[in-house]
Amino acid sequence: AQTVEVKMGADSGLLVFEPAKVTVCKGDTVKWINNKAGPHNVVFDEDNIPDGVDQEKISMDDQLGEPGDTFEMKFDTAGTYGYYCEPHRGAGMQATLVVQ
């Protein structure tokens, strides 16, 4: 199993996840790193995750306020997961995770 990193906020300060789409294998971990323009969080869209996955269990409770703060989650269920940053959802800060 491996860990894939996703930046929260582009180096240029844009309100995006980088990369906007990542593909991992079952059992891999995604590590989100607060980069720029925080605070950020990771909230999965309950209408855009595989059946049987608990949206609240895989989403963050809090927000990452400091650059370098991280959030990690292991994914064991294959499928496509849509997620967004709650404070910046209106700015289009959303991304896709594919678990194979």
List, as residue ranges, the binding site for Cu cation: 40, 85, 88, 93
Q: Which residues contact 28 (CB under 8 A, 6 or more apart)?
A: 1, 2, 3, 4, 74, 75, 99
40 given a catalytic annotation: yes
Catalytic residue among 8, 25, 40, 73: 40
Catalytic residue among 8, 25, 73, 85: 85
88 given a catalytic annotation: yes
Instruction: Specify the 3-state DSSP secondary structure of 57.
Output: helix
Q: Which residues are annotated as a binding site?
A: 40, 85, 88, 93
> Beta-carbon neighbour count of residue 79 at 10 Å?
16
Residues annotated as part of the active site: 40, 85, 88, 93
